Amino acid sequence: MNAGEIAAIVEGVEVPEVGAEAQDTAARLGALLRHLFLYDRGNMLRVIEDCGLSMTQCKALLELGGKGGDDPRQVGDLAETLGVSVPSMSRAVDALVRTRLATRVEDPEDRRVRRVAITAKGKKLAETLLVVRQAGMEAFAASLSAAQRRKLDAAIDSLMDREDIADAYRHLKEVGPT
């Protein structure tokens, strides 16, 4: 199934036209990510499943617990950041609030507005998810030969000039699990 066929299945999803070289890079990257996601026998998926989180709830929890995690967010902002509809995000946040992983707080500038903040319980779960993911990545890195690891490091280093990737790396090094 190609990207165009997938777009036809998923209503409202726009798939940009890309050249054959970018398609091949994407396919190889997808294979690597799939392998990494399942390398540790799906431990992160198992943790998500055991907690009863949907993917939208999990993404919201990780976003709330990520950079600036102490800053409450509006549901609409979360929805936009994560690329889901506001009603879908609202349902996800309702479930996070019910399970005490998040809470709704009053906006200090506009009392009519409610924001979503992660709770201590939510932070602990987000950290657990990150620890499990990091452990899987470390196990994969340890399975590489020294030459493979050097090549992978060089490829990743070449992407560190992208501000979004460099920011994510700095954040992981500062507060992330190791």
Which tokens is 27 given?
A: 């396919």
Q: Residues 83-133: pLDDT tens digits?
A: 999 999 999 999 999 999 999 998 888 888 889 999 999 999 999 998 898
- Is residue 44 classed exposed, middle or buried when 0-12, 13-18 and 19+ CB atoms within 10 A define those classes? buried
CB 129 within 8 A of CB 62: yes
Mean pLDDT, rounded, of the chain? 86
Q: Which pLDDT score is estimated for 170? A: 83
Determine which helix (DSSP H) or strand (DSSP E) holds 21, and give its type and residue range.
helix 20-39
Which residue ranges form the domains of the chain, and what is each CATH number? 15-143 (1.10.10.10)
